[in-house]
Each structure stands twice: as structure tokens, then as C-alpha cells.
Chain A
């Protein structure tokens, strides 16, 4: 239930060389478990036990009521889900959400961070403060705001289109645009945060490298390509991983508040689907099965991402 949302960033994995107080073959002790207990107990009680329960329920047909008996049906829930066109549609949409977020969570922020590195003083501070603001706006508030702005008849964006002599766009009603609109709203909250991280990483690059390259006659683009981008790679990979693993989940609140998965199912993603099964149609089995598919899928993706990060990231040691 926690959604440390877009705010989240994994610290980059560092080489283990600097770890401290690692005394091999320390006698077995319960001390570490006492320290670990609060976090582990909470995670067990509120995350893993429900997860195991969901795993079990995914083999049953049940509406959760004490008056009805869960019926064991084996893998039927999974078979049915996979056969359902809705599920395939939701999986494709999940992919679109994820890919659609990349420009806003990685590409534009990276570009902006490098391009604005020479800005100084007040202007830079003000820009940074402003583009970070969407980050702290609640998703529900963001959803309400954008519905207000994008309303097809009286929204300010529609008025703007009219003023420019363009045709009106059904941002939330036209199946061709709705998914892109929700992706944009999700990305709107991310741009500032990503930019901040890239700027921080960029300004952390040792300027001696840049100077040396400049003396060697490297062009501006050459410096970016050969020094900045490689040294920014841990941040790039980190933000890419966050986008892949959590992008679709971040858009959940907007789907819930703005479109309910429509129009014509064009904005449903996997998380919304399992929410609908669980809460609107009350099929615990379907919902759990969809949940397990999502969890397993993202766990595999996470493993792939970690592996890639280890192979591709360049650290300044």
C-alpha cells in the first residue's frame, strides 16, 4: 500500500571495496536479528503474508465472503486470464506507459541537465525550485488539475487550441490520445525530479577531466559523448530502471481518478486490471492471479535491470 512514488531512487550499487567492519567468521549472534526485527516483522506482516495468501488464492475461485466456500480450480484463473483479450491489452498498455515515460523521466531531464550546466546564480536556483514542484503535488490533486485543464469544452488547453486555430482534442475521451495524456500527466510529476538528479550527478563530475579534454582540443559534443555521458551512466541506468519497474504503477492513480481504464479500455494497465478484479468485480482468484503475474514479471525485469546495470555502468573510481 505504500507508494513511495516517483520519489524513489535506488542508490547506485557501489563496489564493495569500501564496506566497513566486515569481520569474517564472526560467531553467530542474535544481535543483528534484533536490529532487523522491526523492519522484517513489518514487511512480513503487511507485505509477505498477504502475498503468500494471494498466491494461494490465485488457485481458487472465491468472492472472499465467509458465506461462500473457496473452490479449488488449479491453474484455471491463470489460463483464463492469459486467454482474455483484456489481459493482453492491459499488458501492451503497460508497455506503452513504460516506454512513453522514458522521454520525460530520462531523455529530456538528461538533455536539460547537460544543456543548462553553465547557468549560474539565481536563475538556475529558481528554475530548479520550480520544476521540482510537481513532484510534491499529490497524484489525486494532479489528476484533478489536469482534468480541469484538459476539459474538452471549457478547459484552458482546449481554449488555447481554439485560439491557435487547431482542432479540439479529446485528451481523455479519444482512445487515440487518452493513453498519451495519462502518460504525460505521470511524466509531468517526474521531469523535475529526474532533472535534479541529473544536475547533481553532472555537477559532481570532476572538472579536471573536462579541463584535460579541453586542452587536448576536444569539442563540446566530444566532451559530452566521451566524458559526461559515461560518467552519468549510473544515474541514467538508475532512472531507467525506476521507470521500467514503477512507471506503470505510478500511472495507477491517474487511471483510477481520470479514466477508469477507458475509453474503450485504451488506458487499462496491469495494475488497474487487478484492482478492478479485486475491488470492482470482487473476484479474489482473478485478482490474485493477475497480481502474481505482475509481481513475477516485474521481479524478473528487476533482475535483468540489475544485471545490466552492473555490466553497463561506468564509475569514477
Chain B
């Protein structure tokens, strides 16, 4: 699946035949969709620079942009510490999901076992278990293991996910047989085949899995909310929560905190945008 995504799929010559109106309509629809997608985020950004008495203004740009909301956020809440924690949690979660997924997928593809159907089913079915059901028992367990208020407690329960196993399983199954046969004949062990032959050729699925796992770990809210006991040991989504007080929302700081929580990941996305999309196309997630 290595189609070049930027190449038009039909003969470019055909386009001259299309009426101009049609092309304008296409652009119109795409612009509308783009604006719908991006405007709320733009609005968050702008609001975070509005002074308190202008917070409900509808001007597209604040008349006197201010950093007061950011200063408030950074002085009231250990936001930088939380950002660092979130980076660690998201990176570790993504990394572990890739590793556990890779090992499990390899076992399912490499060996035919009588129980592989059952194992495969168990893994897939775990995806459908509502997290609301497992939260309290998991909290009790995390507490017994001493994981409360630790980053490990945020990482370990998410270190394996059905999606990771299934994605890598399907990607691995389309791996060319001949190369592996050759390696086997050369006497390579199963672990050598996995790490030296399979993994280096799974760049695209690993990349897209890492991205998806990273994003969802970054955005995780309910589990950290249950587990965190001190703000400095928590993650950015909980930092946001601190500006939604019982006495109403502090909108300016809340928007500033939301920007701080989203910007790193947005910037990473914009920088890697081309690669992100390409890896999705190549990874066979279609």
C-alpha cells in the first residue's frame, strides 16, 4: 500500500474539462469544513489572550491582548511539571503498547496454536469492556500495588491495548513470506527474526500506532482524575480541571490552560503532519 497520496487519482488532463463552478464548489465545501474544524481552536487561542473584562467579547482579535491568563495559570498550577508528566506518560504508554502489541501479534502470526482463536477473541473482546465498569476495581488494585499518585499508575494499566495487538497482527500478516523462510533456513531464532527482520520493516504501522496511542494517552482524563492526589503528580488534563471550580469556570485561565495542554501536541502534529498522514496510508489502516 505505498500509493503516493499526493498524486491525483485521475488523469489531470481531465480537470480542464470540469466546469470552473464545480471546482469552486469543491473548494467552498472544503473551506467550510476546514473552518468548522479549526475555528473553535482559534477561538480558544484568542480567548486565552483576552483580559478578564473582555472575556465575553466577540471581536476576532482582542483589542489589548494580554498574557495575564497565562501568568495566572503558570503561577497557580504546576502546569510545566504537569506537561512534563504528560509527556512521560504518553510516551511510555505508546512505547509499551507497541512492544506488548508487537510480541503478542508475532506469537499469533508465527505459531499456530489450538488456542489462538480463543486468545485472539479475548484480546479483541477486551476492547468492548466499558472502562466505567473496571475503574473502581482497578483503583483498589492500583492502591494495593502502591501506584496511587504515581506516573507508573497512569502508565501500567494502559500498557497493553487490543487495538495495538490487532493493528500489528494484520500488518504482520501481509509481511512477505519468502524473506522469513530464508531467515529460518539460515537458522535464525524466533526472537532474532522478530527484532531484526520483522520490526525494521514495520515502520509505518508502528509509527501510526505510536501516534494514535500517544494522542489518546495524552488526552486521557477519567483515569488520571481518579488516581491523582496532588496536582504536581498529575497530568495536564487534570490541570484544566482545576480551572473549572465549584464557583463557576475561570474562562480566561481555562482557555490559557487548554492552549498549553493542546499546543505541544498540535505543534508536533503540524511539524510531522506529512509523515503522520503518510504512515496512516501505508500502515494498512484503511
Q: List A residues at the B interface (Cβ < 8 Å).
A: 1-5, 7-14, 18-24, 26, 29, 31-40, 42-43, 45-51, 53-54, 64, 112, 115-121, 123-142, 144-146, 148-149, 154, 156, 159, 188, 191-192, 195-197, 199-205, 207, 210-211, 234-235, 238, 245, 249, 252-253, 256, 271, 274-275, 278-279, 284, 287-288, 291-292, 294-295, 298-299, 302
- Distance in angstroms from B213 CB to nearest chain A CB is 7
Q: Which residues of B contact A47 (CB under 8 A)?
A: 126, 129, 134
- Of B111, B219, B244, the contact of A32 (CB 8 Å cutoff): B111
**Is B84 engaged at the interface, CB distance under 8 Å to the other chain?**
no
Q: Which residues of A contact B254 (CB under 8 A)?
A: 144
Taking a contact as CB atoms under 8 Å apart, the answer to whether A148 and B8 are in contact is: no
- Distance in angstroms from B248 CB to nearest chain A CB is 12
- For window 1-33 of B, CB contacts with A under 8 Å fall at 1, 3, 5-12, 14-15, 18, 26-27, 29-31, 33
State the CA gap A48–B126 with chains docked (Å). 7
- Distance in angstroms from B38 CB to nearest chain A CB is 5
Taking a contact as CB atoms under 8 Å apart, the answer to whether B280 and A21 are in contact is: no
Taking a contact as CB atoms under 8 Å apart, the answer to whether A21 and B33 are in contact is: no
Q: Which residues of B contact A11 (CB under 8 A)?
A: 166-167, 169-171, 284-285
Question: Which residue of A21, A154, A235, A275 has the most chain B CB atoms within 10 A of its CB atom?
Answer: A21
Taking a contact as CB atoms under 8 Å apart, the answer to whether B216 and A119 are in contact is: no
Taking a contact as CB atoms under 8 Å apart, the answer to whether A207 and B126 are in contact is: no
Interface string of B223-260 (1 = CB under 8 A from A): 10000000000000100110010000101001100100
Taking a contact as CB atoms under 8 Å apart, the answer to whether A115 and B29 are in contact is: yes
- Which of B62-70, B74-82, B177-185 forms part of the interface with chain A? B177-185
Taking a contact as CB atoms under 8 Å apart, the answer to whether B29 and A207 are in contact is: no
- Of B43, B161, B221, the contact of A148 (CB 8 Å cutoff): B43
Can you spell out 10 A-B residue pairs with CB atoms less than 8 angstroms apart? A3-B222, A11-B170, A24-B112, A39-B104, A42-B100, A120-B12, A127-B30, A137-B41, A141-B258, A278-B132
- Of B10, B169, B286, the contact of A197 (CB 8 Å cutoff): B286
Question: Which residue of A140, A142, A192 has the most chain B CB atoms within 10 A of its CB atom?
Answer: A140
State the CA gap A92–B84 with chains docked (Å). 42
Q: Which residues of A contact B177 (CB under 8 A)?
A: 18, 20-21
Taking a contact as CB atoms under 8 Å apart, the answer to whether A127 and B240 are in contact is: no
Q: Which residues of B contact A287 (CB under 8 A)?
A: 132-133
Q: Which residues of A contact B163 (CB under 8 A)?
A: 4, 8, 10
**Is B150 engaged at the interface, CB distance under 8 Å to the other chain?**
no
- Chain A, Cβ-Cβ closest to B170: A11
State the CA gap A136–B112 with chains docked (Å). 38
Q: Which residues of A contact B1 (CB under 8 A)?
A: 204
Interface string of B194-227 (1 = CB under 8 A from A): 0000000000000000001101101111110000
A interface: dominant SS: helix
Knowing A8-B163, A38-B99 touch, does A21 contact B184 (C-beta < 8 A)? yes
Q: Which residues of A contact B40 (CB under 8 A)?
A: 134, 142, 145-146, 149, 188
Q: Which residues of B contact A18 (CB under 8 A)?
A: 173-174, 177
- Of A50, A112, A245, the contact of B128 (CB 8 Å cutoff): A245
- Distance in angstroms from B206 CB to nearest chain A CB is 14
Taking a contact as CB atoms under 8 Å apart, the answer to whether B37 and A130 are in contact is: yes
**Is B106 engaged at the interface, CB distance under 8 Å to the other chain?**
yes
Q: Number of contacting residues on B, CB 8 A?
A: 116
- Chain A, Cβ-Cβ closest to B60: A156
Taking a contact as CB atoms under 8 Å apart, the answer to whether B136 and A64 are in contact is: yes
- Distance in angstroms from A15 CB to nearest chain B CB is 10
**Is B53 engaged at the interface, CB distance under 8 Å to the other chain?**
no
Q: Which residues of B contact A126 (CB under 8 A)?
A: 34
* Inter-chain pairs besides A115-B26, A133-B37, 20 sampled, C-beta below 8 Å: A1-B138, A4-B213, A12-B170, A34-B107, A36-B107, A38-B100, A112-B33, A117-B10, A125-B274, A130-B37, A131-B34, A148-B44, A148-B255, A191-B33, A200-B280, A203-B9, A274-B132, A287-B132, A291-B130, A292-B133
Interface string of B99-136 (1 = CB under 8 A from A): 11101101111111100000100110110111111111
Taking a contact as CB atoms under 8 Å apart, the answer to whether A129 and B273 are in contact is: yes
Knowing A54-B134, A118-B15 touch, does A298 contact B128 (C-beta < 8 A)? yes
Q: Which residues of A contact B33 (CB under 8 A)?
A: 112, 127, 131, 191, 195
Knowing A2-B216, A197-B285 touch, does A32 contact B221 (C-beta < 8 A)? no
Taking a contact as CB atoms under 8 Å apart, the answer to whether B109 and A20 are in contact is: yes
Q: Which residues of B contact A24 (CB under 8 A)?
A: 112
**Is B83 engaged at the interface, CB distance under 8 Å to the other chain?**
no
- Distance in angstroms from A112 CB to nearest chain B CB is 7
State the CA gap A42–B37 with chains docked (Å). 36
Taking a contact as CB atoms under 8 Å apart, the answer to whether B9 and A53 are in contact is: no
Taking a contact as CB atoms under 8 Å apart, the answer to whether B237 and A118 are in contact is: no
- For window 252-286 of B, CB contacts with A under 8 Å fall at 254-255, 258, 261-262, 265-266, 269-270, 273-274, 277, 280-281, 284-286
